[in-house]
Amino acid sequence: IFDFDGTLVNSGNDLAISVNYMLEKLHLKPLEHQVIMSYIGDGVHKLIERSIGNTHQNDFDEAIKIFSEYYGKHMFDTTILYPGVKEVLNHFQEKKKIILTNKLHHYTLNIARHLEIDTLFDDIIGADSTAFIKPDQRVLTPILQKYDVEDDKAVVIGDGVNDIRLAKNSG
């Protein structure tokens, strides 16, 4: 079970540029890319919420709209696979492989298709694919059941605290 952003794909630059575009359109101060990167991992709603700050939450709906429209057109600008990803996925072609991400499903699927890795996975599950998101174990339990995988035979591969918590929460 693979995380997506920061694990399989280096998408931070496109996300950061999209956030700063949204902030500019809302007449808010742009953020350092490193700050935006620290906001990634809990889904787009948290990313936008954190980026616009507590004092501008009344702009949330407009912010999401601006971000989504821009990112939808620019998510392929600089996003690339990390080195060795395709080789690793091909090496484990006989294993069941799933992308489980807090990124929205359509973004994940579009990027995976664009980078030609979508067919290397048995399933791609985004934040809007289930009622729960990482690190809630209720997102993982149905996946393991669906693919008939015992808890202690599953491996969660990711770059963030949510991935570690998901694995620990799920045994």
- Would you give per-residue pLDDT tens digits along the chain (171 residues)? 999 999 999 999 999 999 999 999 999 999 999 999 999 999 999 999 999 999 999 999 999 999 999 999 999 999 999 999 999 999 999 999 999 999 999 999 999 999 999 999 999 999 999 999 999 999 999 999 999 999 889 999 999 999 999 999 888
What integer pLDDT is reported at residue 126 of this predicted model? 97
| Dihedral sign for Cα atoms in the order 29, 4, 80, 108 | negative
Q: For residue 117, give every residue at least 6 positions away whose Cβ sits within 8 Å of its Cβ, in sequence order, or none.
A: 8, 81, 85, 86, 89
| Assessment of whether the complete model's pTM goes beyond 0.85 | yes
Q: Which residues of 10-44 are buried (b: 16+ CB within 10 A; e: fewer)?
A: bbbebbbbbbbbbbebbebebbeeeebbebbbbbb
d(CA 153, CA 135): 18
For residue 132, give the nearest of 162, 102, 157 by alpha carbon: 102
Task: Find the length of the chain.
Answer: 171
User: How far is the CA of 80 from the CAs of 14, 31, 47, 102, 142, in angstroms?
Assistant: 10, 22, 21, 18, 30
pLDDT at 20: 98
Residue 151 has a pLDDT of 86
Per-residue confidence (pLDDT) for residue 120, from 0 to 100: 97
pLDDT of the residue at 170: 86
The predicted pLDDT at position 129 comes to 95
**Phi, psi angles (nearest 5°) of residue 85:** -60, -50
